[in-house]
């Protein structure tokens, strides 16, 4: 009997969930499926990005929505488990959502074959397979923003600027997490090392990056001129301690875009002076869109979370990602009118030209061939209180980067 009633309960829940679907379809807002990891590995960034998505959606709605339609972001947790990511995708996809964002490499990889098959737009800024920028192969996938390859190439371009355009006697160290995330840029760095003649020194860091003493004492002995770093979260703090211990100046450190204000606070604002990061969004709060959100939402007590979370570069990253998604919807309505369909939305994305969300991020231009939007980044330096840009938005060595992209994407589907 007990068993029966439990089964009955489960059925009631299932049917309850199934019944709630038509009600939401009726309202017909433009919806984005945000299947995020809010509880496991990606929590260093996902809460800020999700909050930015919700805030921005609310701002758009207050200003009349898109073409008169409301927008909605549906945030679900998948705990970084591919199986639950697929479940989230399948469920929302059946409810009529056709734009998805996962912000998790394993989940993005698991959802990608389904999205390509079903004709759903998979946004995967900063995660997932980088060769998906090749729109001729991955027609439903839009990794708008820099790939790690492009980002590493831009870092090298910046180092070249530092050394007056000659890299022949320069040693570049590459400190990276020893798994696919960190290993990805090695190929392009090797290519560029051959082209520019600099010496590339590789320093793998075993996960989770809590022990880096061996790595940095080796760095001290090798004396690289600049150090490109592909690590996340707490590993930056460990690295900074080891650098101090080994007497390596902080301004040699050029991080991947995953370095935020929390890491700076943990390193210590004073100690972190000179640290650099590559980024595709403007850091800090002096941004028109940010100020608008503050004025419209947070000053009136209507923010979608604590205000501290907005003072973080990943919040800006989230604003950038979702500005692109909403702008694409706007363009799609302009081009093909309502209702939005997967195809019209794709046309909207591919008509974005030099869009920078009013000075929030690197301008992007999406085409049917380049789904990455150009992949421009810039280098910023922490001066103790704020991030100071060291370069313009640059997108260098695109021939070499695209050669790597094409080499990898050509293997897809074979």
CA distances from 83 to 34, 106, 112 (A): 15, 10, 13
* Cα 407 to Cα 401: distance, rounded to the nearest angstrom: 10
- Cβ at position 10, least distance to another protein in Å: 8
Least distance to another protein from the beta carbon of 173, Å?
20
User: At closest approach, how far in Å is the CB of 243 from another protein?
Assistant: 26
> Which residues, at least 6 apart from 312, have a Cβ–Cβ distance to it below 8 Å?
48, 260, 261, 262
Q: Is 8 exposed, middle or buried (0-12, 13-18, 19+ CB in 10 A)?
A: exposed
Q: Nearer to another protein by C-beta: 36 or 393?
A: 36
Question: Considering beta carbons, is residue 106 or 373 the nearer one to another protein?
Answer: 106
> Measured from the CB atom, is 1 or 385 closer to another protein?
1
> In terms of CB distance, is 42 or 158 closer to another protein?
42
Nearest to another protein of 312, 350 (CB atom): 312
Where does this chain bind another protein (CB under 8 A)? 2-3, 10, 13-14, 16-18, 20, 36, 38-39, 43, 47, 50-51, 54, 75-77, 79-84, 86-88, 90-91, 94, 105-106, 109-110, 112-114, 129-131, 178-180, 183-184, 186-187, 304-305, 408, 411-414
Residue 20 CB, shortest distance to another protein, in Å, is 6
Is 84 or 171 the residue whose CB approaches another protein more closely?
84
* Residue 175, CB-side half-sphere exposure with 13 Å CA sphere: 31
Contacts of 204 (CB under 8 A, 6+ apart): 176, 177, 178, 182, 215
Token pair listed for 375:
């992949």
CB of 221 to another protein, least distance (A): 24
Q: In angstroms, what is the minimal distance from the CB of 333 to another protein?
A: 27
Helix (H) or strand (E) holding 382: strand 378-382
Shortest gap between Cβ of 84 and another protein (angstroms)? 5
Q: How far is the CB of 236 from another protein (least distance, A)?
A: 21
Q: Is 229 helix (H, G, I), strand (E, B) or coil?
A: strand
**186-196 and 148-162 helices cross at what angle (nearest 10)?**
30
Minimum CB–partner distance for residue 35 and another protein (Å)? 11
d(CA 348, CA 357): 15
- Enumerate the β-bridge partners of residue 394: 377
Residue whose CB is less far from another protein, 14 or 368: 14
* In the complex, minimum distance from the CB of residue 298 to another protein, in angstroms, rounded to a whole number: 14
Nearer to another protein, 59 or 362 (CB): 59
* Ramachandran class of 47: left when φ > 0, alpha when ψ lies in -120 to 50, beta otherwise: alpha
Note if the bond before 208 is cis, omega within 30 degrees: yes
**Complex with another protein: residue 214 or 306, whichever CB lies closer:** 306
To which residue do tokens 């995708």 refer? 89
Work out whether strand 276-279 and strand 226-230 pair parallel, antiparallel, or are unpaired: unpaired
What would the two tokens of residue 72 be?
């909605």
d(CA 41, CA 92): 23
Of 58 and 380, which has the nearer Cβ to another protein? 58
Question: What whole-number distance in Å separates Cα of residue 162 and Cα of residue 193?
Answer: 16
Q: How far apart are CA 48 and CA 69, in angstroms?
A: 25
Q: Tell how strand 253-255 and strand 226-230 pair up.
A: parallel
């Amino acid at each position: 009997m007990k068993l029966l009633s439990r089964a009955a309960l489960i059925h009631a829940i299932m049917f309850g969930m199934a019944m709630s679907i038509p009600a939401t379809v009726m309202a017909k807002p433009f919806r984005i499926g945000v299947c995020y990891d809010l509880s496991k590995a990606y929590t260093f960034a996902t809460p800020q990005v999700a909050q930015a998505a919700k805030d921005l959606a609310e701002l758009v709605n207050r200003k009349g929505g898109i073409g008169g339609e409301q927008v909605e972001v549906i945030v679900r947790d998948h705990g970084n488990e591919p199986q639950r990511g697929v479940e989230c995708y399948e469920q929302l996809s059946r409810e009529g959502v056709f734009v998805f964002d996962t912000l998790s490499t394993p989940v993005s990889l698991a959802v990608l074959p389904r999205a390509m098959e079903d004709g759903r737009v998979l946004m995967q800024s900063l995660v997932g397979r980088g060769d998906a920028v090749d729109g001729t192969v991955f027609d439903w996938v839009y990794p708008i923003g820099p790939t790690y390859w492009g980002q590493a190439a831009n870092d090298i371009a910046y180092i070249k600027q530092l050394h007056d355009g000659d890299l022949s006697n320069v040693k570049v160290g590459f400190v990276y997490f020893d798994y696919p995330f960190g290993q990805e840029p090695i190929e392009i760095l090797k290519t560029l090392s051959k082209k520019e003649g600099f010496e590339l020194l590789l320093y793998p860091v075993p996960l989770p990056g809590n022990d880096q003493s061996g790595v940095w004492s080796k760095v001290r002995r090798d004396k690289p001129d600049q150090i490109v770093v592909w690590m996340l979260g707490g590993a930056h703090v460990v690295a900074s301690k080891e650098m101090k211990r080994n007497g390596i100046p902080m301004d040699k450190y050029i991080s991947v875009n995953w370095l935020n204000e929390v890491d700076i606070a943990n390193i210590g604002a004073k100690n972190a002076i000179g640290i650099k990061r590559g980024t595709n969004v403007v850091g800090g709060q002096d941004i028109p869109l940010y100020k608008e959100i503050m004025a419209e939402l947070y000053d009136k007590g209507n923010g979608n979370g604590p205000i501290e979370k907005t003072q973080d570069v990943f919040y800006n990253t989230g604003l950038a990602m979702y500005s692109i998604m909403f702008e694409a919807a706007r363009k799609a309505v302009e081009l093909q009118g309502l209702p939005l369909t997967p195809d019209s939305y794709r046309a909207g994305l591919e008509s974005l030209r030099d869009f920078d969300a009013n000075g929030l991020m690197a301008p992007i231009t999406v085409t049917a061939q380049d789904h990455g939007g150009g992949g421009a980044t810039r280098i910023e330096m922490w001066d103790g209180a704020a991030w100071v840009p060291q370069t313009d938005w640059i997108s260098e060595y695109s021939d070499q980067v695209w050669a790597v992209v094409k080499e990898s994407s050509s293997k897809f589907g074979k």
